[in-house]
Structure 1
Amino acid sequence: MNIAPFILFLICLTLPSLLGQPKNDPKHPDRPNIVWITSEDNSKHYLSLFDKNGVATPNITALAKEGLRYIHAFSNAPVCSVARSTIITGCYAPRIGAQFHRKIRKVPMHEGLKMFPEYLREAGYYTSNNSKEDYNLEKSSDVWDDSSKRASWKNRRSDQPFFHMVNIGVTHESSLHFDADEMTTQGTHKAPREVYVQPNHPNTGLFRYTNATYRDRIQQMDQRFGDIIKALEKDGQMDNTIIFYFGDHGGVLPGSKGYLYETGLHVPLVMYVPPKYREILGVEAGTDVTGFVSFIDLAPTVLALAGIEVPEEMDGKPFLSSKVDRLEVNQRDETYSYADRFDEKYDMVRAVRKGKYKYIRSFQPFYVDGLMNNYRYKQLAYQEWDSLYRAGTLNDTQSRFFEMRPPEMLFDVEADPYETNNLADNPEYLDKLVELRNMLNDWLTGMPDLSFYPEYVLINEAFDNPAAYGQTQKKEINSYLRTGNLCLPGRANAQKELTLALRSADPWQRYWGLVAATSMDKKADLSESLIAQIMHSDPVPIIQVQAALYLALEKGEDPSSVMTQALYDAKYPAEGLHILNTIVLMRDWAAYIMPAGAPPVKFDIRLDKINAVIREESEVQRRLDYLGV
């Protein structure tokens, strides 16, 4: 008997499973259901499962005992829309133009790439989202079978595997927008004086109350998490469903959400793997995973678990599947992160963490962390922190949030989890500083990072195809990075190169030359007349503004007339918003960041002189309202 045809038939039958590809039959029992449960705005610091200062979350903890606890899980961005744009694409947001929170313009998906649920649908999955999206990208109608407050896995065909995402909003930043009349202790925290307050915060009754309230919210979130698990159990889905729980980025105590500190990035992540999948996935219940995983890795992991090939266009890689080596995952020790505009507040910060060391590069360190952001300052704790700083009652650690940052910061986050001791100037850590600086520079140039162009330039020139634009402008972006880095220590010929940049025909060389000069700890001996000439006659308004900022911080000159006229000359909403960011800085912080004895900076802005297109942008309106225009 010739058994060769029979063997060939068996090979053809089993090959898809061996390769990790789904069979055409959607009933195939080896294709797991996948559920994501996210909680909004909480870092790992508030759960005792991950941190000694957290509160008990019995439902999440129970799931971790039957699955995996990821000790080093990170959002790549500390705010909703940028984090979720990263998650849904598996891509670094500054590479694809999705890095600005509260987008002025959505960007198209990277050519050749789909949002990951669309791949699941093509493979036969039912995809549902209940219900937050918040992407900075244009979304195809093929991403979700249902994305609404009614969305449920129960609406699929009975023979269909499902991917379901559910969002728990009880921990959102808005939960701390209480007023003074609401300050009554609730829940498990009857004695707010015993609540942990992190060392960079003032230990006041308001901060203790805010901490206590937020920990109560974490426990309410855990109860809702438990309700979702009970619903899966009642529906008989636990035996076939892999469950992810994670925070969608860091927490909302002041200085967390919106900032590249660990409290803004380091999130809880727990995975439940049913017993039937544990052997093939190499999972032992109750195990800790110590390797680093980031939000860019979530989409590739889901696709791999579903047996779908991970697109080359994704930046992340799976951290769990039958083809992933668990030992290799535990050796991963790097994560990269980014912060740009959040609502009306501009900044540009990048960071890399490798092992226990964290390197933060502030490209515009003159924009103090405490710069006004209307939504953040709805929180009473923010308001009190600001008032205490202005009253001069904070210690040095608590004051740094309101002071110009160093361009480079280096932290040992295991010894210093709240990043209060900057090691960048310590000669003992010079080798580590240079190593991480070089890693970050390689990452920025490798993408490349689109934020080396102002947002309004990207909107006008790049947002039809952002990633492709970055590739065509790679040489220019790399040169802007080099110029921006002239402010860092040890840059030979920095003064000569800065002068060349200021005289360049390329406006963004001039811009980054001024940014670097403004950021230097020890100012270069630059021609004041050259900078004054730029301030008065450069054809690009935001370059005039940057020159005026330099002369204000270096010489105490009043920048108000130049900045106001630049606002009147601006043509685009993001351009005007960028200028207003600097105007707010100078109005609110001139007394603290300008040379001693410099006069107060006052602005007299006329609304009718601002371009109507700029005035109509909602983020601009926030700034104008705050300025009393």
Structure 2
Amino acid sequence: MRQILSVSLLCVILYSCHNKDEKPNILWITIEDTSPHFMANYGNSINTTPTMDQLGQEGVVFTNAFAPGAVCSSSRSSIITGCSTEALGTGNHRSKYKLPDFIKGFPYYLNEAGYFTTNNVKTDYNVQNEQAFIKEAWHENSQKAGWWNRKEGQPFFSVFNYNSCHQSRTMTFPWALYENEILKRLSEFDHIAAEDIEMPPFYRDSEEMRKQVSRVYNSLRKTDHEVQLLLDRLEKDGLKENTIIFVYADHGQGIPRGKCTSIGFGHRVPFYIWFPEKYKHLSPWGVQEITDELISFEDLAPTILSLAGCDIPEYMKGRPFMGSERKKPVPYVFGSRNRLDDTPGLERTVFYGRFVYSRNFYPHLPVQRYQKYADVSDIVRTIRKDAAEGLLNEVQFDLVKQPRAVEYLFDLKNDKWELNNLADHSDYQEDLERLGKVVSERIVQVKDIHFLPEELMLERSQNSSAYEARLQSNNLPIAEILEVADMVGREKKTQSFLPYLKDEREEIRYWAAVGLNFIGQTKGIEKPLKDALRDSSSYVQAEMATLLYKTGKNTEAKTVLNQLIIGANKYASHHAMQQVLYLPELANDFKTEFQKVKDRYGENRVPGFDYNVQNSVEMFFYIYDNHPLYYSRDKRWIDDISKTKKSW
């Protein structure tokens, strides 16, 4: 039954659930930061995760399941709402913007259907007023939450999140802390040796890199044991034969070129569904099967509601792939990469079964950005050191190469590690153009609000939400924005961007400035560029000041960058800092300004976006002044702090 209420002049439709046949219990097992490449069901030679793989072998293995975001918060906002990150405006990591009141966490509808809903324990939904949002969605949300507190006979939907395979364990923890959290909690029999692992070819196959990549395998092995304990409890409670079990990762692998990277390796996830005998008829694929149907996390909420016999809210645009509302498979699903912590980015990706295509709108930035959370790790230090010593081949060096490709096209069927970019290959130009057009159409269709600079996105949505603001054409002239943004990295003539630099709309001028900055030429156009130093947009100022200073050490440009760096506007400061971080020959000219910002903050870590400014300062002094880089909470696990200094 649907009830229509008027709230703030909007019609909000609340969906109730039908009391149909007996409802299945549903168990979600979410493992963190994992690509399928490291699991036997997807071809790895090591039986790393036998418990989880057995569930897949007895049920259904999905070979084309993709997370919409390459990091947890953007992916999880899509999981819990059933909406795309582009529409929600939740693509920027830990941004916590407002949602419209009518968008609920989907367990809210299960609660109405009589389900007992629990989450143990990670949320990271990237929304404002998250605690109220969580309370409305779940009966229980804690480290003790589970099906065991439901009423007798009550169906349950229970989520368990496992972080032993999180990036902190596989990459960023100091080695001693990783040993304490992972290796010491495994028997020696379960240890997976560095010399035995399958090594991703985009890394140099050295003893040190094997040691670091072995963390992935051992972390997954420990996770598998934890999953086994949960399944043992489910069986002990006599519930396994009434429970459909989902196993999946929240995005790609937490190692360089995986998580935070908008190619297939950052988005593709292992995904299994296990059916008890009682509910095998609910599997459209049968059991003991492998399917290549495309799955996106946008599909999860409507699918669970369909399984439970609930009406699906209109705002959920994903595909129910099971249950009474199952819809036919789709040809494409999509991914995105935006700002992640202190690192800027804007990439849009489409998955088409065999192919993955990605458009990179900031080609001046390398794949492996300067990011504190990554650069504290031994694996990134090793990559940067090997690159500086000329030890990497072309594919391996691509991690740190500047600038980099504007477009990527990989054949996932024949190139599982995505080593061979087919974008410039003559035999694949038709696929490249077709998929590039699909991405552009998606950006316009969904009205992707992340094409606004972040501060402007906040301003445009402050009286409502990003979800609602994007629907107003005056807030987001997305077709006109994309016209300019899509020239970045493609158009080589400065004259092509100059008319847009005079546009009355800030977002159009911004993308013109990005395009000009990337071309890196000022000859014959100095006057309009200098005029743009006084633009009302700090983002335009930063782009033009960077261009003028790196090409001619223009003193006015340096003054503008200095003022932006030390100014009170944290978004402008961060944007200017990120420009300077990638100017190695000139960065030290700004040391005084970075020091002023460092002194202003002191040693205290400030929450919110200020934290990204602080991390940018730390990265500057690590890169250009050889300061140690570490998290204070991890200090006791580091034998020699001097090891955290730049060695490349």
Q: Which residue of 1 aligns with 2:380?
A: 382
Most deviating of 431-440 and 64-73: 64-73
Q: 1:221 aligns with which of 207, 220, 223?
A: 223
Q: Which residue of the partner structure matches residue 423 of structure 1?
A: 422
Q: Deviations over 1:371-392 (max 9, x none)?
A: 2111112220111101111222
Unaligned ranges ≥5, structure 2: 1-14, 626-648
Does the residue aligned with 2:344 lie in a helix, a strand or coil?
A: coil
Q: Distance in 2 between matches of 1:513 and 1:267?
A: 36
Deviations along 1:287-344, whole A, 9 cap, x unmatched? 111111011111111110001111110121111114426xx33xx3422111111111
Match of 1:471 in 2: 471
Cα deviation, 1:54-84, whole Å, max 9, x if unaligned, reads 5332211221233111111111111111110
Paired residue for 2:481? Answer: 480
What does 1:205-604 correspond to in 2, within 5 Å?
Answer: 205-324=207-326, 328-329=328-329, 332-403=330-401, 404-463=403-462, 464-473=464-473, 476-487=477-488, 489=490, 496-520=495-519, 527-535=525-533, 537-551=534-548, 560-569=558-567, 571-586=568-583, 590-591=584-585, 602-604=590-592
Verify the 8 A CA contact 1:456 1:572 in the aligned structure 2. no
Instruction: State how far apart, in whole Å, the 2-side matches of 1:183 and 1:446 are.
Output: 44
| 1:626 matches 2:619 | yes
Give distance in 2, aligned partners of 1:606 and 1:67: 55
Query: Residues 391 and 610 (structure 1 numbering): CA distance in 2 closer, same or farther, change over 3 Å?
Result: closer
Q: What RMSD over aligned residues (CA atoms) do the two structures have, in Å?
A: 2.8
Aligned in 2, Cα 1:603/1:314: closer, same or farther, shift over 3 Å?
A: same
Secondary structure in 2 aligned to 1:393? coil
The Cα offsets for residues 497-543 of structure 1, whole Å up to 9 and x where unpaired, read as: 412101222222111012123345x97987233113313x2232221
Partner of 1:486, secondary structure, is coil
Structure 1, residues 409-465: CA drift from partner, whole Å, max 9, x if none?
A: 222222222222222222322211111111000000111111111111222331431
Question: 1:100 matched to which residue of 2?
Answer: 92
Deviations 1:551-609 (A, max 9, x none): 4566676865432222234x4333322222222222xxx35xxxxxx897553216657
1:3 paired residue number: none
Q: Which residue of 1 aligns with 2:634?
A: none
Residue matched to 1:11: none
Match of 1:33 in 2: 25
Seen in structure 2, the aligned counterparts of structure 1 residues 111 and 66 have a Cα distance that, compared at 3 Å, is: same
> Which amino acid in the other structure matches residue 422 of structure 1?
N
Aligned partner of residue 401 in structure 1, secondary structure: coil
Instruction: In structure 1, list runs of 5 or more residues that go unmatched.
Output: 1-19, 592-597
> For 1:231-253, what per-residue CA distance to the aligned partner results, in whole angstroms no more than 9, with x for missing partners?
11111111211110001111112
Match of 1:17 in 2: none
Q: How many angstroms apart in 1 are the aligned matches of 2:126 and 2:334?
A: 19
Give the Cα separation in 1 of the matches to 2:210 and 2:284.
43
Distance 1:334 1:523, change over 3 A: farther
Q: CA deviation at 1:22?
A: 4.8
Which of 66, 69, 72 lines up with 1:77 in the alignment? Answer: 69
The number of residue pairs the alignment matches comes to 587
Amino acid at match of 1:546: E
- 1:164 matched to 2:158? The reply is yes
Q: Secondary structure at the match of 2:220?
A: helix
| Letter paired with 1:538 | D
Residue 13 of structure 1 corresponds to: none
Cα pair distance change 1:414/1:553, threshold 3 Å: farther
AA of the residue aligned to 2:30: T
Residue 40 of structure 2 aligns to a residue in which SS?
Answer: coil
In 2: Cα distance, 1:79 partner to 1:62 partner: 27
Q: Aligned in 2, Cα 1:280/1:400: closer, same or farther, shift over 3 Å?
A: closer
- Specify whether residues 244 and 182 from structure 1 end up closer, same or farther in structure 2 by C-alpha distance, changes over 3 A only: closer
Residue identity matched to 2:469: Y
Where 2:90 maps in the other structure, the secondary structure is coil
* Whole-angstrom distance in 1 between the partners of 2:459 and 2:122: 29
Distance 2:195 2:504 in 1: 59
CA–CA distance in structure 2, aligned partners of residues 338 and 429 of structure 1 = 23
Q: Distance in 2 between matches of 1:199 and 1:610?
A: 39
* Kept in 1: contact 2:598–2:617 (CA 8 A): no
> Does structure 2 conserve the Cα–Cα contact (< 8 Å) formed by 1:21 and 1:307?
no
TM-score (norm 1): 0.87
Give the 3 Å change call, closer, same or farther, for CA 626–61 of structure 1 in structure 2: closer
Counterpart in the other structure of 1:127: 117
